[in-house]
Structures are given as structure tokens and as C-alpha cells.
């Protein structure tokens, strides 16, 4: 276990959201903030142990009374969980380790206890036995209880209670944790788990928060309250930066901000290649607070509005009227451009529509996306009616997530017809010509694109899921994150097949915001890219420096390639030749 010696340390991970954050470290793991660390004097050793013993005894009492209560309410089986908590509380391995570590480190005991338990949890997360792995959360619970029961360390506030701007280090963050981050205090985040196309990473980009994921041993190595720099460009967390490193990063920060402002100034120029091929550049949006950024970035409307964060993020589904007002506001703000609403896409790594009795083993293959909506037609129709009504106030498109074939398309058309009839009966206006599209993110839909194209007005390729499902790589599993390659020839060929179906086709997955891959997408024939508002100015610049004919020829070559590296390299070569400054 490392001791924080105050020297600069660099931890490397995967960059997932660009930017630089400079602040103090706040550490959170398993829902519990790390206590502040302070050096103790030899005379304090005894009182530190007394403090710890008292906390163990208090925790023991709490656990016994919790056990009794649960036993009374639900029976002995349910209450048995607290026996495991009690056993862990006095676990010899942990206590022996603590006895060794406290005198060695000479730090306050709660902070050493935190580190020792985190270390133990990390080992447990990687054991083969799935039962033992599932106990990690219980250990986290006990840790949290013990820390709460320790008197606060004098003059060292608990992390998380301070409003000082910070860099958040966590084992993992769920999409809803991320959505809840206060951008005024959290300047960026770094996690031990995670991957680039998880919704957590996508939200970081939407919120404009620099983020790095997949940093091995992060929680163990991080010390709360230490100064830190998070580099979301190269994926590095620097703890205790030297004055020289700080100056260097402040310079980079200033340069990047200047370059970004220059790109923003070009926001009204068309996204058009040098040989005149026009690409619609629209925004991906998740939250109402991003609305201002849509016009600031020069987006031509919204190509993907992920409605699940609005529908499920506020406790209780909003009714039709509330949804209508919400959708209408966005439509009016974006006029004359189109807003494409994607209907509820719950499940997978996002919020569940409702808590299931049994946990799903493979949630990405389970009750997710259109499957949920079609199994709850009354709820689904409220959303469809609200979107239809919003279409009376501007240009609107609706699209459906996770469609796998024609049956679902027929089903949604039938429900849309019912909604239109219902609105007419209620005397409410809607646009008869509202465009209806589907996301192409399941391989079977891409393979059937020619058939599906006869039944819808447009396709939007969700490259995040299309990649996940085509090459069977879980998009949020960091163990296979390096295998997640959207330039896999299998994925690229499915994209080509989709575009070849001949109806308007855009890309709304993260691939569209990768400056390296814009030449490939343009060359494949895509006419619309929808990306996070922060990335939009870069993508506009890229498109304006590309020659469509060159892209097309390169894409033909890419379609003959045998592996993902060759495809990426072909696209990158053209990107580097066309807009080298974006890679500085
Ligand atoms: C996708 O899968 O590419 C997509 C845009 O949808 P989401 O990331 O919300 O699943
Ligand atoms: Mg998707």
C-alpha cells in the first residue's frame, strides 16, 4: 500500500471527456466519502485507537438493533445479513492490518481504516466466487457506518462537505450519480471502473466535465484534500502537482479555451465539405440546462433527445401534459430546426423503468428500450401524444430505441395511429407530417434496413449499441473496454448496409463526435451527425476541411479492410491531412 509522501504522482486511465480540471481531490467509493487524512503524533496513537474502538462498539449496537427490527418485520432469513456485517466488523485480517498500518503511516485512524477496507474490497471485486463478489456492497455498508460513528477529526472537514471546487475520484459513478453532480463544485471526475461509451461518460461530455475512467487502484492511491489536476485529454490524474506542472497545465487550459472560442466563432458557418456536400450537424441533449448550449454551439436543432433522463430522473413519471410542456419548450427554442425525440430508453446501464423483482442477468439484452414501452402501452401513449402535440409548435421527429425488426415498427405505428385518433377526438393539434424514424443499434435491424426503410422516414445509427451488440462487447464493462471498437469491419459494414437502404440516415452515437472518424462517416454517406454540444464546433471545423470525394474513396477502401485498426488508420490519415490543427 502506498504512503502519500507529498510528491507528484501520476495515475493513467482512459480519457472520456476532454478538458482540464484543477482542484482538490474528493474521494468517494461505494457511496462513501473518504475521510480527510492528517498526520498524527505518537502521543495520539492511543486516543486514535480509543476513538476507533468506540466507533466499533457503537456500530455493533446499531447492527444488533437493526437485526432485531428486520427480524421482527421480515423474519430471520432477511435479518441474517446483519450477522455477516457483524462478522466483518471484527474481521481479524482487517484489524491486524490496521494495527500494522496506523503506526507505519502515522495518520488518523479513520483514514487508514478507509484505505485498508478499500484495499480489501478491491481484492474481493476480483475473486472468482460470485457470492463473495456480491458481498462487496455489504462491506461498503459497514465501512460507511464505522466512519459515521467516529468523531470527526479536528480541523479536517469530511470530504464532500466542503464546497471547495474539487476533482471527484470514485470507484464508479452511475449515470444518475453523474447527472446529480453539481458543476459548481465538481470540476471533473475520475473513476476506477467505467468505459468511454457508458452513459456516465456520455453525460460527462454533455455536462462539459473533464473525465477519465479505468484508472487502476485509483481509490487506494487517492488522498482526500490533496491538490490535483485531471487531464481529460490524455487521461491522467496528477496528485500533488509541482508548481511547474501546475503552470504547464494552466497554460494548456488557457490555450485550449482560446482555440475553442475561435471554433465557437465559426458557429454560423455551414457544415459543408470543400466540394459542397452539406451535412446536418445537430445536438445530442439530455437535460434542460443544455438548451442554451444548443444555439451557442450553432447546432441545427436536436438529432437525439434522450428523454429517459427527464422521464425517470425526477421521481415518478410526468403525465402527458407535463411532458407536452417540456417538449414544446425545446421545440420552440430550436425552431426552425427539427428536434428528434427518442422515446424512453430505460434499462441497460440507465435508470430502470420500474424495479424488477429479480435482477436481470443481462440487462443490455433484457427489458430495455422499445421493449419496455411496448409492454406498457398506456404509459407509452402518453409520451407519444405529448410528442405529437409538441409537433404542432415546430419541426419534430420521433424515433424509437432498440428496434430489432419489423414487428416493433408495426406496433409503434399502430400506437401512433391510436394517439392521432385520440388527439383528434380531444380537438388537440399535431403535425400530420411529423417524421417517424428508428434507431439502428441492433444488428438485425441493420441487416433488415432495406425492409425497415419502407416503413419509416429516417434512420439514426446508434453506434454505441450497434458496436456493443455486433461484436458482443458490453459497453460498460471495463474489462473488455479495449475491445470496444466502433471501427470493427463488422460494424462499419452494417452501417454501410443501413445507409444503402436509401432513406435519410444520421449518426447519433459517440462515434459521430470523434474527430478521427468524421472522414469515414462522411465517406460512408451519412448526411447528419448528432453530437454533444461541446464537440459540435470541432466537428463543424472538421467537416468544413474535408473533401467528400476523398472521404468516399477512403471509405470504399475501409470497407475492404480486414481489421478495425486499418479502418481507424485510414480515417485518421485523412483527418490529419485535412485538419491537423485539431490534433494539436
Ligand atoms: C447509441 O446506442 O449509440 C445511442 C445513441 O443511444 P444510447 O447511447 O443512449 O444508448
Ligand atoms: Mg443506444
Is 477 in the same domain as 461? yes
Instruction: Determine the atom of ligand 1 nearest the C-alpha atom of 197.
Output: 8
Is 238 in the same domain as 111? no
Residue 511 lies in a domain: yes
First to last CA, the chain: 37
Tell me the three state secondary structure of residue 507.
strand
Ranked by mean pLDDT, the top range of 82-86, 251-255, 442-446 is 442-446
Q: Is the pLDDT reported for residue 160 higher than 60?
A: no
Residues with CB under 6 A from ligand 1: 202, 304, 306, 345, 441, 462-465, 508-509
Is 17 in the same domain as 64? no
**Percent of the chain, pLDDT > 70?**
93
Residue found under cell 475520484: 169
In angstroms, the Cα distances linking 147 to 2, 13, 49, 51, 224 are 21, 29, 13, 11, 15
User: Which residues does 47 contact at the CB level (< 8 Å), separation at least 6?
Assistant: none
- Given 192, 225, 259, the domain boundary residue is 259
Q: Which of 462, 475, 535 to mutate to test the pocket of ligand 1 (most atoms within 8 A of CB)?
A: 462
255-263: average pLDDT: 92
Q: Is the pLDDT reported for residue 314 higher than 80?
A: no
Residue found under cell 439530455: 286
pTM of the model: 0.76
* Backbone φ, ψ for residue 12 (5° rounding): -105, 140
> Cα separation of 201 and 305, whole Å?
17
Tell me the three state secondary structure of residue 455.
coil
CATH of the domain at 253: 3.50.30.10
State the residue range of the domain holding 228.
9-34+156-259
Is 255 in the same domain as 277? no
- Protein residue with least CA distance to atom 3, ligand 1: 462
CATH of the domain at 68: 1.10.274.10
Q: Is the pLDDT reported for residue 429 higher than 80?
A: yes
> Cα separation of 378 and 556, whole Å?
46
Residue 584 lies in a domain: no
Count of structural domains within the chain: 3
Which element (helix H / strand E) includes 280? strand 280-285
- Protein residue with least CA distance to atom 1, ligand 1: 462
Q: Are 211 and 199 in contact (CB under 8 A)?
A: no
Predicted local confidence at residue 155, as pLDDT: 33
- Given 259, 283, 311, the domain boundary residue is 259
Instruction: Determine the atom of ligand 1 nearest the C-alpha atom of 348.
Output: 10
Q: Are 519 and 571 in contact (CB under 8 A)?
A: yes
Rounded distance from Cα 465 to ligand 1 centre (Å): 6
Residue 1 lies in a domain: no
CATH of the domain at 478: 3.20.20.60
Is 237 in the same domain as 286? no
Partner residues linked to 399 by β-bridges: 342, 437
**Percent of the chain, pLDDT > 90?**
63
Q: Which three cell numbers stand for residue 292?
A: 442554451
Q: Is the pLDDT reported for residue 366 higher than 80?
A: yes
Residue 3 lies in a domain: no
Rounded distance from Cα 59 to ligand 1 centre (Å): 43
Q: Is the pLDDT reported for residue 324 higher than 90?
A: yes
Which one is predicted more confidently, 160 or 374? 374
Q: Is the pLDDT reported for residue 489 higher than 70?
A: yes
Is 292 in the same domain as 432? yes
Instruction: Determine the atom of ligand 1 nearest the C-alpha atom of 464.
Output: 3
Q: Is the pLDDT reported for residue 319 higher than 90?
A: yes
- Protein residue with least CA distance to atom 10, ligand 1: 465
Q: Are 437 and 458 in contact (CB under 8 A)?
A: yes
438-451: average pLDDT: 98
Is 177 in the same domain as 142? no
Pairing of strands 435-440, 458-461: parallel
- Given 206, 235, 259, the domain boundary residue is 259
> Cα separation of 174 and 424, whole Å?
41
Predicted local confidence at residue 4, as pLDDT: 59
Residue 23 lies in a domain: yes
Q: Which of 16, 346, 439 to mutate to test the pocket of ligand 1 (most atoms within 8 A of CB)?
A: 439
Is 547 in the same domain as 434? yes
Rounded distance from Cα 448 to ligand 2 centre (Å): 18
Is 20 in the same domain as 114? no
Rounded distance from Cα 468 to ligand 2 centre (Å): 9
Q: Is the pLDDT reported for residue 584 higher than 90?
A: no
Q: How confident is the model at residue 69 (pLDDT cuts 50, 70, 90)?
A: low
Is 61 in the same domain as 205? no
Is 391 in the same domain as 498? yes
Rounded distance from Cα 402 to ligand 2 centre (Å): 7
- Interior angle at CA 492, CA 491 and CA 494, nearest 5: 65
Is 127 in the same domain as 194? no
Chain centre distance of CA 50: 43
* Backbone φ, ψ for residue 217 (5° rounding): 60, 25
Predicted local confidence at residue 62, as pLDDT: 80
Catalytic residues: 199, 508
Residue 166 lies in a domain: yes
Mean pLDDT of the chain: 89
54-63: average pLDDT: 88
Return the minimum-mean-pLDDT range out of 85-94, 117-126, 345-354, 513-522. 345-354
Instruction: Determine the atom of ligand 1 nearest the C-alpha atom of 202.
Output: 8
Residue 343 lies in a domain: yes
User: DSSP letter string over 244-259?
Assistant: HHHHHHHHHHHHHHHH
Q: Which three cell numbers stand for residue 461?
A: 445509427
- Protein residue with least CA distance to atom 4, ligand 1: 462
> Cα separation of 503 and 484, whole Å?
28
Rounded distance from Cα 450 to ligand 2 centre (Å): 21
Instruction: Determine the atom of ligand 1 nearest the C-alpha atom of 199.
Output: 8
**Ligand closest to the CA atom of residue 199:** 1
Tell me the three state secondary structure of residue 582.
helix
From its phi and psi, is residue 530 left (phi > 0), alpha (psi between -120 and 50) or beta? Answer: beta
Residue 4 lies in a domain: no
> Cα separation of 68 and 62, whole Å?
10
Q: Is the pLDDT reported for residue 524 higher than 90?
A: yes
- Protein residue with least CA distance to atom 9, ligand 1: 306
Helix axes of 109-125 and 136-148: crossing angle, nearest 10 degrees? 170
Predicted local confidence at residue 417, as pLDDT: 98
Return the minimum-mean-pLDDT range out of 5-14, 108-117, 150-159, 268-277. 150-159
Tell me the three state secondary structure of residue 186.
strand
Amino acid at each position: 500500500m502506498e504512503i502519500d509522501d507529498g510528491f507528484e504522482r501520476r495515475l493513467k486511465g482512459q480519457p472520456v471527456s476532454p478538458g482540464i480540471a484543477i482542484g482538490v481531490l474528493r474521494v468517494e467509493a461505494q457511496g462513501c466519502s473518504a475521510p480527510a487524512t492528517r498526520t498524527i503524533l505518537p502521543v495520539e496513537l492511543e486516543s486514535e485507537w480509543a476513538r476507533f474502538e468506540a466507533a466499533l462498539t457503537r456500530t455493533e449496537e446499531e447492527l444488533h438493533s437493526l437485526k432485531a427490527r428486520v427480524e421482527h418485520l421480515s423474519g430471520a432469513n432477511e435479518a441474517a445479513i446483519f450477522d455477516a456485517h457483524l462478522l466483518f466488523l471484527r474481521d481479524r485480517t482487517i484489524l491486524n492490518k490496521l494495527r500494522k498500518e496506523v503506526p507505519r503511516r502515522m495518520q488518523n485512524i479513520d483514514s487508514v481504516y478507509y484505505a485498508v477496507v478499500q484495499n480489501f474490497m478491491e481484492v474481493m471485486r476480483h475473486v472468482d466466487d460470485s457470492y463473495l463478489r456480491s458481498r462487496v456492497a455489504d462491506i461498503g455498508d459497514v465501512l460507511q457506518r464505522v466512519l459515521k460513528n467516529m468523531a470527526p477529526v479536528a480541523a479536517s472537514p469530511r470530504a464532500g462537505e466542503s464546497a471547495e471546487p474539487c476533482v471527484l475520484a470514485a470507484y464508479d459513478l452511475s449515470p444518475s450519480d453523474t447527472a446529480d453532480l453539481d458543476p459548481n463544485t465538481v470540476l471533473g471526475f475520475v473513476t476506477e471502473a467505467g468505459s468511454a461509451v457508458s452513459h456516465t461518460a456520455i453525460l460527462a461530455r454533455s455536462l462539459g466535465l473533464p473525465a477519465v475512467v479505468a484508472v487502476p487502484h485509483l481509490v487506494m492511491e487517492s488522498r482526500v484534500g490533496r491538490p490535483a489536476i485531471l487531464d481529460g485529454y490524455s487521461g491522467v490524474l496528477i496528485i500533488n502537482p509541482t508548481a511547474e506542472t501546475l503552470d504547464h497545465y494552466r497554460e494548456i487550459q488557457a490555450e485550449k479555451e482560446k482555440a475553442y472560442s475561435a471554433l465557437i466563432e465559426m458557429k454560423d458557418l455551414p457544415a459543408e465539405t470543400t466540394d459542397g456536400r452539406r451535412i446536418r450537424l445537430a445536438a445530442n441533449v439530455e437535460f434542460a440546462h443544455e438548451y442554451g448550449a444548443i444555439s451557442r454551439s450553432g447546432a441545427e436543432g436536436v438529432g437525439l433527445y434522450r428523454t429517459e433522463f427527464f422521464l425517470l430522473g425526477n421521481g415518478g413519471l410526468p403525465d402527458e401534459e407535463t411532458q407536452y410542456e417540456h417538449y414544446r419548450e425545446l421545440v420552440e427554442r430550436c425552431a426552425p430546426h427539427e428536434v428528434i425525440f427518442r422515446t424512453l430508453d430505460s434499462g441497460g446501464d440507465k435508470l430502470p423503468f420500474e424495479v424488477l423483482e429479480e435482477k436481470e442477468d443481462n440487462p443490455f439484452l433484457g427489458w430495455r428500450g422499445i421493449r419496455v414501452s411496448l409492454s406498457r402501452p398506456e404509459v407509452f401513449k402518453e409520451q407519444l401524444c405529448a410528442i405529437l402535440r409538441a409537433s404542432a409548435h415546430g419541426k419534430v421527429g420521433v424515433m424509437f430505441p432498440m428496434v430489432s425488426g419489423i414487428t416493433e415498427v408495426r406496433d409503434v405505428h399502430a400506437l401512433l395511429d391510436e394517439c392521432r385518433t385520440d388527439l383528434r377526438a380531444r380537438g388537440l393539434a399535431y403535425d400530420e407530417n411529423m417524421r417517424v424514424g428508428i434507431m439502428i443499434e441492433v444488428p438485425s435491424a441493420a441487416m433488415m434496413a432495406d425492409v425497415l426503410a419502407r416503413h419509416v422516414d429516417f434512420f439514426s445509427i446508434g453506434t454505441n449499441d450497434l458496436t456493443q451488440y455486433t461484436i458482443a462487447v458490453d459497453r460498460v464493462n471495463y474489462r473488455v473496454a479495449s475491445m470496444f471498437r466502433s471501427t470493427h469491419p463488422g460494424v462499419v459494414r452494417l452501417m454501410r448496409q443501413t445507409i444503402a437502404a436509401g432513406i435519410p440516415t444520421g449518426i447519433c452515437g459517440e462515434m459521430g463526435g470523434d474527430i478521427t472518424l468524421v472522414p469515414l462517416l462522411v465517406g460512408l454517406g451519412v448526411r447528419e451527425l448528432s453530437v454533444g454540444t461541446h464537440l459540435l464546433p470541432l466537428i463543424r471545423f472538421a467537416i468544413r476541411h474535408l473533401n467528400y470525394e476523398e472521404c468516399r474513396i477512403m471509405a470504399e477502401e475501409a470497407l475492404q479492410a480486414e481489421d478495425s485498426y486499418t479502418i481507424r488508420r485510414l480515417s485518421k490519415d485523412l483527418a490529419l491531412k485535412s485538419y491537423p490543427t485539431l490534433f494539436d
